[in-house]
Structure 1
Amino acid sequence: MPTDRRASNFNRNAVLWLAGAFAVGILTANFAGVDLRAAVGASVVFAVLAYVFKTQQFATLLIFTAFAFAGAASLNIEKSGVAADRLRLLYDNGTIKSGEPVEIEGVMVRGREPTVDGDLITFRAETLRIRNEDLKVSGKVRLFVQNGKNPFEISKLGSETPEAEFDISAAEPTSLLVGPKPSDLKYGSRIRVSTKLEREDNFLNPGVISRLQMLDRLEIDASGSVKSGLLIEHLADESVFVPLAWVYDQREKLIDSFRRNLSQRAAGVMIASLLGDKYFLDKETADLFRDGGTFHILVISGLHITFIGGMLLLIIRRVSRNRPAQFVLTNGVLWAYTLAVGADVPVVRAAVMFTVISFSHVIYRQSSLLNSLGVCALMLLVWRPTELFDPSFQLTFVSVAAIVACAYPLIEMLRKIGRWTPTAAMPFPPDVPKRLARLCETLYWNSDEWRIEAKSYVWTARLSKSPYLSGKIIGGGQRAIRYLFEGILVSLIVQIWMLPLTVVYFHRVSIASVVLNLWVGVFIAIESFAAVIGAVISYFGDALARPFFAAAEISDWLMLALPRMFSDNGWASFRLPAYSAAGAFVYFLYFVPIIFLAVLLSRWKPFELKADSRILGRRLLVPAFAAFVVLSFAIVFHPFSSPTADGRLHVDFLDVGQGDAALVTFPDGRTLLVDGGGKMNYRSDDDGEEPFVRDVRDIGEAVVSEYLWHRGFSRIDHILATHADADHIQGLTDVAKNFAIGSAIFGRMSAEDPDHAELADVLRRRGISATNIYRGDVLHFGEVIVEVLYPPEADESNLRSENNNSVVLRIIFGNRKFLLTGDIEHIAESALTAADLSADLVKVPHHGSRTSSTQSFIDTVRANYAVVSVGRTSPFGHPHADVVGRWKAGGAQVLVTGERGTISVSTNGVDLEVKRFLSE
C-alpha cells in the first residue's frame, strides 16, 4: 500500500519532481562544475535506461538522474552560448572599456519608459563605432534621455533591490516637471547615438550586490545617458507588430492621464502597480510599503497577473461558454498586458503559470496545482537555467509553493471540518481537537443550509455542533470573518515559508505584513478600478472622470493610513543580518521541517478511522514543529551571526564611491563606524516647487548597511560623523535606522545642517545618546587608545561643519598607529603638523583633493600606506595625480577603494596586514 501511495503522489505531481531534479542538476553544475559533453551523454544514457526498464521501480530514479544531467547541460549551454559579438562579452573581456566614448546604432525593442527627469529607451544594438573602427555587435542597451533639467552622471545608474528592475539612482530631489521628450522615438525606431556606455560595478564590497549581475538578470548589456533627445539621430522606423505598438501607445497615454489627474503620490502608486513603471514612485510612499512588507503589491508579478486573469475569465465566461475561446481571449489579453508592462521576468513567469493552469481546463484535465507549478518552473529553467539563482524567481516560487502546498490544502480541510454532515464518503465526524472543531464550525457551519439539506434525506439525524458565539455569527458577518481569517492565514503561511529569503535578500522581518497585506490589497484594488475607469471616461470629458479620480485619491489615503501608523510607531518591521559562509546552511535546513509539515498536512485524514496512521502523524508532528521553532529562532535572533572578538584591531575602508565610511572593530569586539558615505546634492530647486524624491536606495542602505549585515552585525556600538558633508554623514542616518546603536559621536556640528538634523531626529526618536568630541579628548577601547587631534572646541557662534573642521582621529594599538583625517584641507593640516602625526596608515584627507595632502603634512605623517576613499570615477577628478605622486614619493603605498574595493587593515599591535576585496 505505501508503494501505491508513493506512485500516486509521483504521478499526480510528476512534473514537479522532474523540475526539482532539473534544478539539482543546475545547482551541481554551478558549484561543482560538470562538463557539457559528459552531461549530455549521461542524460541520454539514463533516459534510454529509464525507457528500457520502464516497468521496474528503479526507472523513476533513472529518469530523475537523466533530468538532473539535463539541467547541468542546460546551464553549460547558456553560459557558453554567449555570442562573440555580444556587448557584455566585449566589455567584460576589455575589448571596449566601460565609459569609453562610442557611437552605437540599433532598433528600439519597446516603447519609451517615462521618468520624472526624462525617458528610458531600450534598443537592440547592431553596430558600434569605437576608435574609428566599426564593429558588428548584439545585445540590449538601456539609455537614459534627460529632459534637459537637472542633468546627472550615468554613474548614478543603479539598482533598488535584489529582485528590482534597472533603476536610475537619482535620490536627490528633483522638480516634478514634464520636460521635452524625444517624442518621435517609439517601438521599432532605428536610432544612432554617441555616448559613453558603462558596464562595471559601482561599489566593491562584500555583501553588496553586483551591478553586473543586475544588468545580466535584466538582459541589459550596457547602459548610458544623453543630455537631450536632440542628440539621438532617428534614422528610420522598422516594421513592427502593430497591435503591440498600439499597446505601448495606450500605456503611455494611461501614464500621462494618471499624472494629470491624480496627486503625485497616488499617480506614482498607480503607475507602478498597474503599468510597471516605478520611476514616479516617491521614496516616502515606497518606504511605507517596504516597511510594512507590502512592497510586492507595487511590483507587477503573480498577484496582479492572477487577479487580472481571473477577472478577464469571469467576464469572458459570461459572453461565451466555449473553453478554447475563453482560453485564447483571456490569455491573449493577459499576454498583451505582460508585454505592455515590459515583459520582465517576474511578469512572464506569472503569465506562464496562469496559462499552464488555464490550459488544463481547456483539455478537460484537472491540474494539480503543484504539478502546474512544476511545469512553469521546468519551462522557465529550460529557457534560462540561471533563473534558479535569481532572487525574484526564488521569491515567486516559494510564495506560490506555500499557497498550493500548505495554505490551500489547510483551508480546504478546515472547510470540510466546519461543514461536515454525514455522507457515504464521510459517515463519521472529524477526529480533531474540540477547539479546532468549534473554530471551523464558527467559520463554516450554516445551520439553515443543513435544515434544507436534511429534508431531502430519507433518514434523520441530530448533529452536535458547537460553534463559538452560537447563533450570533451568521450570514454576511460570518462570511466577512471567514474571508478575513483565510486571508490572514494565507498571509501568515506565506510569511513563514518566505522567512529565509526575506532575511537574506531584504534583511527585514515584517511583523505587520500579515494584516497589512489584506488592508493594502483591498484598497489598492478599489483605487485601481477607480483610476482606470476615470482614465477611460476622461476621453469623453474630464468632468465625468473627476468623481472616479477623487475616489482613487480617497482609497490611496486610506490604503496608506494604517501602514503609516504601524511604521511611525515602529510596529511594522525590524531589520536583521544574514548568516554567511557555512552559517548560511541554516536557511536550507529551515525548509526541511517546513516541507515535512506540508507532507504531514497532505496526509492528514481526520475523517478516516485508522488510528495507527493518526498516531504516527502526531508523533512526527511534534519533533517537526520543534525543529521549525528552533530554526526560526536561529534565523530571527541570529545568535551566531556576529563575528567573535579575535584580539586584533581591524579597520575596513568601504568603497562608497565619492565619500567616506570606515568600520573600526576593536580587539574586544566593540565597533565604531566612522562616517557612512552618501550622495552630494548637485541639483537645485529653481522653481520653488515641492521636491520629488524618487524611491532609490541610498548609500547608507544599499552599501554600508548591506556590508554590515553581511558581516553579521545587528548592533554598532558607536557611530561617528567627522563632519556634516552629505558624502560622510548621510549614510549614518540609514545605519541608525537599521541597527541598534550604542551612541553617536560628533565634532563641530550645526543644528541647521539638513543632513545632521535628519540624523539627529532619528537618534532622538530611537533614544540614542549623542556626544561631541574635540581636540585633546581621548577615547579608550580596552588596550586601544583613540586620540582626538582635531577640531578645537568652538563656541556656539562658530559651530560650522566644514572640511577644515573635520574630526581627525589617531588610533593606537601597541606599536601600530592609524590616522583618520576626514576632509581636512591645508589650513587644518598646517594646524596639525606641529603635533606628532606619525602613523603606519593614513586615510588620505578629502579623497585625494589638491586642496589637501600638503608636502609638510605628508612628511609629518610618514605613512607606509595611504588609503584614498573615492569611487572609480569621481565627479571631482579625485584623487589628483599630484597628490598620489606626493604620497608615493613619501614612501607610501597608495590604495584607492574604487579600484580594489574594501581595504581591510588589521594588527595585533605588532604586525600589520592589508587586504583588498579584489585581488590583483
Structure 2
Amino acid sequence: MLASLWAAGVGLAHWETQVALPGELTRGAPVIVEGEAERVDRFEGTTRVRLAVARAGPPSGPLAPVRFRMNLSLRGEPPPLLPGQRVRAETKLMPAAPPSNPGEKDFGAARRRQGVAFTGGLDSRRLLVLSPAPAWRVALEDTRIRLAAAVHAVSPSKDAAALFLTLAAGQRAALDDSWEEAFSRAGLAHVLSVSGLHVAALALMTLAVLRRLVVRTGERWRMLDARQVAAPAAVPFVWAYVVFTDNQPPAVRSAVMATVVLLGLALWRRADGLNGLAAAAVVLVAWAPSSVADLSLRLSFLAVFGLVLLSPPLRQALPLAEPDPAESRRVHRWWGQAKETVAQTLCASAAATLAGLPIVAATFGRVSLAGLISNVVALPLCGLLTGLAAGGAALFIVTPSLATPLLWAGAWASELLLVITRLFAAAPLASVEVPSLGLLSALYAAGLLTWALGTGRWRLGGLLAPAAVAAAMLAPVLTPRPGLRVTFLSVGQGDSVVVSSGGEHLLVDGGGVPGGMDTAERFILPYLKQAGISRLALAVLSHPHPDHALGLASALKQVPTARLWMPAGDGGGPLSRQVAAAAGPALVEEVEVGHPPLRLGEATLEVLGPPGPDARELLEGVNDRSVVLLVRHGDVTVLLTGDVEAEGEAELAERLGPVTVMKAPHHGSRTSSTETLLERTRPRHVVFCVGRRNRYGFPHAEVEARYRALGSECWRTDLHGAVTVESDGQDVRLLPFLPSEPSPAAVPVARTAHPSPP
C-alpha cells in the first residue's frame, strides 16, 4: 500500500510540477510575471518569495496564461507581503544550474521536485502588490510577530529564542546555520522542525490533560470512558498547532496518524501503525503530491516504519528483563520502569537511525552515533519543550500576559537543550562518515526486513544489512586509483584545484567572492568528503586575491593541512594572514623559484614562480607574483599557473618546456596566455577556471582561439563543470563532470594528432 501510494505521489507530482511556458518568453531575458505568493521567507537583507505564476509576458507586450512556480529574491526592505497575495514583478527567468562538482548538493533538483522551475531577483521596491492578504493570514502573522517579540523579551539568549520559536511558530529561518550542523552531529536534527516527535508529544499531552478534565467534571460523563470523550476533543488542538506552525509535511503526517489513533480510542479500536502511516500517505498524496520527494518527509516516514517494524525485535534482543508489574516494592517498581523507558527509547532511536541510514548516507555522507544516547537524554526535554511551545502559543493568543511564565520556561528549556546539543556534538565519534549505499540499499533493506519479520534461520538474512554497509565502505578502497588525479573544481569566478597521488593530497586556492557565498562549504568540502579526503599534505595560496584566498581560508578551518605554501614577498597582507590563521599548526613557508621539490605520493611538485627577489621587484602586479607549480608524474606534466599575466609569463617561459595539461593563466584573460608562453609549453589540454556568465567575459574569445590554433583541447569549468585529469605516468584522460557543451568561442581549426579525451 505504501509503495503504491508513493508511486501515485510521484506520478501526480510530475503532473503538478509541469511547466507551461509560451515560446516567446526567452529564458534569461526580462519578463513580467504575475501570480500568487505561496510562501514568504525573510532572511537578513533579503526576502524569498515562492510565486505560483499565472500570467507572464515580455515587458512591452501583453501577459499570457502560464503555469509554473519560481523563487523571487527581493533585495532590500520588502513591502508587507503574506502568502495568498497576488503580486507582479519584472525579473529574468533563470533556470537552476545543475551541480558542477562531485559531491555538490543539487539544489535545482529539490526545487524542481517542489515545482519551482526558475529563480529570479529584483529590488523589493519594484514589486507591485495587487491584492490584500486574507484576513486570517494577517491575524496569524500579527500573532507570530507579537509572539516572537514576547519570547525574545524573556529569553536568556537569541539562539534559545530562535529554537523556541521554531517549535512554537515554525520560524526555523531565525536559527543560526551553525546550530543545524551541531544538531546534526548530535543526532537531534529532528528537533529543528515541527516533526512527528512534536505532534505526537502534543497529542499525548493534550489527551492526558483533557482526560483529567473529563474525569473531574463529575456525573455527566460517568457512563462513558474518559478517553472516548477526551480523544476526539484533542484532535482540533493537534491540527491547530500544525496550521500555526505552517503545515510542514512531517507534521501533517504525524497529525493524520495522531487523528487515526485518537479517533480509534473514541471508537474502542486499536490503531495499527502501518495503517496509520498509509492513511497519512493518502492525505499527503492528495494534498501535496510533490511532498513525496521531500527529504524530511521521507525520513519521517522511514522513522515511523522503523519504529513499527524494528523496535520490537531490537527490544527483544536487549539482554534486559522487562519490569515486573506485580512488583510490590515501589522503589524497585519505579526503577524497573525507568530502565524500561531508557531501553525503549534507545531501541526507538536505533530503529529510526537504521531505517533512514541509506537516505542519510546518500544525502549527508555521515550518520550520528551520538543520537543513540542523546535522544535518550533529550527526548523528555523535547516533550516538555513541545508542550511549553504549543501551550504558550495557544495561551498567548487568548491572553498574552498569562502566557509569559510558559514562554519564560520554554525559552530556558530551549537554552538547556542547546547546552545538551553542544555537549553531544563535541563528543568524539559523535558522527561517522558513511559512503552512499547506492544499489546496495536494496540489499540493506532486505536484510533489515528479513531480520525484523523473519523467524528461525530466516533471521540470518539480517546479515545482509551489515554486509551491504561493509561493501559500500570497502568499495572505494578496492577500486583501482590512478597514480595522479588533478581536479579543477568549478567554484564560480575563481580557482580551486585538488591534486591527489598515492594517498596524499594538495589543495591549491579555494575561490571566493567578498560578501558572497562560501565556496568551501558549497563546493570544496563536499568534493573532499566525496573523495574521502580528510587531511591535506599541502595547501597552496597562489596569491592573495579574494577569488583564490577566501574559500581556501574557509576550507582550512575544517580540513587540517601539514604545510601551507604562500608566495614569497607577499608582505603578510590581511588575506594572507587569514589563510595562515585558518591553517593553524601547519608549517607555513614562503616559496619562490628554486624551492626544493616536494614529493606528493607518486608525483613531484616543482616551484617555478614567483621569481627571485631581484626579478620580483620588477613585477608590478600581485598576479605576476603568483605561486606557479609544475606537477610531474612520469612523462605527464600539469602546470598550475595561478594568475600570472604577460610580465610574469615572460619571466616564467624561460624555465618551461612542453606540458601535458595547463591551467590557463588568469582565467583566460587577454592580458595573459601570450604567444611566447604558448610556444614554449604547447599544452595538449588547457583548462579555463571561469564562472558562468562572469562579468569579465572570461575566457576571452581570442585567447581560446589562440590555444585551439595550437591544437590544444580546451576545457571550461563554466561549461564542463569540474574537470578531472587522471594519469598513469604515460598518458592522461580528462573527465568533465557535466556533459560536454560546445564552447561559444569554438572555431574550426586544424588538429594535431593528440589523443582525444573520453
TM bracket, shorter-chain basis: 0.7 to 0.9
Match of 1:704 in 2: 524
In structure 2, C-alpha distance between the alignment counterparts of 1:361 and 1:550, rounded to whole Å: 34
In structure 2, C-alpha distance between the alignment counterparts of 1:488 and 1:536, rounded to whole Å: 32
8 Å contact from structure 2 (residues 37, 86) kept in 1: yes
Match of 1:915 in 2: 735
What displacement does 1:832 show? 1.9
Of 669, 681, 689, the residue aligned with 1:869 is: 689
Match of 1:143 in 2: 72
Matched, 1:779 2:598: yes
Match of 1:659 in 2: 494
Q: What pairs with 1:407-806 in structure 2 (closer than 5 Å)?
A: 407-408=311-312, 436=319, 439-440=320-321, 443-445=323-325, 447-448=327-328, 474=332, 476-526=334-384, 551-568=409-426, 570-579=428-437, 584-600=438-454, 617=456, 621=459, 623-624=460-461, 626-634=463-471, 638-642=473-477, 644-647=479-482, 649-666=484-501, 669-675=502-508, 677-682=510-515, 698-711=518-531, 718-723=538-543, 725=545, 727-732=547-552, 743-748=562-567, 753=574, 757=578, 760=581, 764=585, 773-776=591-594, 777-781=596-600, 784-792=603-611, 803-806=623-626
In structure 2, C-alpha distance between the alignment counterparts of 1:751 and 1:911, rounded to whole Å: 40
The percentage of counterpart residues that share the same residue type is: 26
Secondary structure (helix, strand or coil) at the match of 2:476 reads: coil
In structure 2, C-alpha distance between the alignment counterparts of 1:678 and 1:526, rounded to whole Å: 45
In structure 1, C-alpha distance between the alignment counterparts of 2:579 and 2:204, rounded to whole Å: 46
Matched, 1:295 2:189: yes
8 Å contact from structure 2 (residues 505, 535) kept in 1: no
8 Å contact from structure 2 (residues 592, 612) kept in 1: yes
Match of 2:257 in 1: 353
What displacement does 1:805 show? 4.2
Match of 1:107 in 2: 36
1:597-631, CA deviations, whole angstroms, 9 ceiling, x for partnerless residues? Answer: 2114xx6xxxxxxxxxxxxx3x555x345554444
Match of 1:833 in 2: 653
Q: Give the partner amino acid of 2:173.
A: Y
In structure 2, C-alpha distance between the alignment counterparts of 1:141 and 1:478, rounded to whole Å: 56
Q: Give the partner amino acid of 2:104.
A: V
8 Å contact from structure 1 (residues 826, 854) kept in 2: yes
8 Å contact from structure 2 (residues 497, 507) kept in 1: yes
Of 195, 203, 206, the residue aligned with 2:102 is: 206
Q: Give the partner amino acid of 1:440.
A: A
Secondary structure (helix, strand or coil) at the match of 1:447 reads: coil
8 Å contact from structure 1 (residues 578, 709) kept in 2: no
What displacement does 1:891 show? 5.3
Q: Give the partner amino acid of 2:206.
A: L
1:550-580, CA deviations, whole angstroms, 9 ceiling, x for partnerless residues? Answer: 544543333232332344454422334335x
Q: What pairs with 1:72-87 in structure 2 (closer than 5 Å)?
A: 75=10, 79=14, 85=20
8 Å contact from structure 2 (residues 507, 539) kept in 1: yes
In structure 1, C-alpha distance between the alignment counterparts of 2:580 and 2:336, rounded to whole Å: 48
Q: Give the partner amino acid of 2:147.
A: L
What displacement does 1:302 show? 1.6
What displacement does 1:714 show? 5.9
Q: What pairs with 1:118-129 in structure 2 (closer than 5 Å)?
A: 118-129=46-57
Match of 2:628 in 1: 808
In structure 2, C-alpha distance between the alignment counterparts of 1:444 and 1:492, rounded to whole Å: 25
Match of 1:372 in 2: 276
What displacement does 1:819 show? 1.4
8 Å contact from structure 1 (residues 745, 773) kept in 2: no
Number of positions where the alignment pairs a residue of Structure 1 with one of Structure 2: 721
What displacement does 1:904 show? 2.6
Match of 1:417 in 2: none
Of 192, 217, 236, the residue aligned with 2:131 is: 236
Q: Give the partner amino acid of 1:121.
A: V
1:820-847, CA deviations, whole angstroms, 9 ceiling, x for partnerless residues? Answer: 1223345533432332164333212333
8 Å contact from structure 2 (residues 609, 628) kept in 1: yes
In structure 1, C-alpha distance between the alignment counterparts of 2:589 and 2:361, rounded to whole Å: 33
Q: Give the partner amino acid of 2:164.
A: M
Matched, 1:286 2:167: no
What displacement does 1:903 show? 1.8
Change (3 A) 1:121 1:592: same
Change (3 A) 1:194 1:827: same
Match of 1:41 in 2: none
8 Å contact from structure 1 (residues 751, 757) kept in 2: no
What displacement does 1:590 show? 1.9
Q: Give the partner amino acid of 1:407.
A: S
Matched, 1:311 2:311: no
8 Å contact from structure 2 (residues 667, 689) kept in 1: yes
Match of 1:223 in 2: 119
Of 139, 143, 148, the residue aligned with 1:250 is: 143
Q: Give the partner amino acid of 1:896.
A: R
Q: Give the partner amino acid of 1:182.
A: P
What displacement does 1:193 show? 1.1
Question: What value does the CA root-mean-square deviation take over the aligned residues?
Answer: 4.1
1:454-476, CA deviations, whole angstroms, 9 ceiling, x for partnerless residues? Answer: xxxxxxxxxxxxxxxxx9x5365
Of 93, 118, 126, the residue aligned with 1:197 is: 93
Q: Give the partner amino acid of 1:807.
A: V
What displacement does 1:712 show? 5.5
1:683-714, CA deviations, whole angstroms, 9 ceiling, x for partnerless residues? Answer: 8xxxxxxxxxxxx9x43344333334445656
What displacement does 1:790 show? 1.8
In structure 1, C-alpha distance between the alignment counterparts of 2:400 and 2:238, rounded to whole Å: 28
TM-score, with length taken from structure 1: 0.69
Of 723, 726, 742, the residue aligned with 1:906 is: 726
In structure 2, C-alpha distance between the alignment counterparts of 1:547 and 1:751, rounded to whole Å: 54
Q: Give the partner amino acid of 2:441.
A: Y
TM-score, with length taken from structure 2: 0.82
Change (3 A) 1:860 1:529: farther
What displacement does 1:215 show? 0.5
Secondary structure (helix, strand or coil) at the match of 2:90 reads: strand
Q: Give the partner amino acid of 1:127.
A: R
What displacement does 1:297 show? 0.9
What displacement does 1:344 show? 4.0
Change (3 A) 1:533 1:852: farther
8 Å contact from structure 2 (residues 667, 688) kept in 1: yes
More relative contact order, 1 or 2 (CA 8 Å, 6+ apart):
1
In structure 2, C-alpha distance between the alignment counterparts of 1:501 and 1:662, rounded to whole Å: 29
8 Å contact from structure 2 (residues 32, 89) kept in 1: yes
8 Å contact from structure 2 (residues 666, 672) kept in 1: yes
8 Å contact from structure 2 (residues 17, 116) kept in 1: no
In structure 2, C-alpha distance between the alignment counterparts of 1:901 and 1:363, rounded to whole Å: 60
Change (3 A) 1:632 1:906: closer
1:791-833, CA deviations, whole angstroms, 9 ceiling, x for partnerless residues? Answer: 35789xx9x9964443211223344432112233455334323
8 Å contact from structure 1 (residues 258, 531) kept in 2: no
Matched, 1:116 2:44: yes
8 Å contact from structure 2 (residues 561, 583) kept in 1: no
Change (3 A) 1:769 1:632: farther
Change (3 A) 1:378 1:550: closer
1:472-496, CA deviations, whole angstroms, 9 ceiling, x for partnerless residues? Answer: x536555444433332232123223
Secondary structure (helix, strand or coil) at the match of 2:95 reads: coil
Secondary structure (helix, strand or coil) at the match of 1:222 reads: strand
Matched, 1:392 2:289: no
Change (3 A) 1:77 1:555: closer
8 Å contact from structure 2 (residues 19, 68) kept in 1: no
8 Å contact from structure 1 (residues 829, 854) kept in 2: yes
In structure 2, C-alpha distance between the alignment counterparts of 1:337 and 1:542, rounded to whole Å: 17
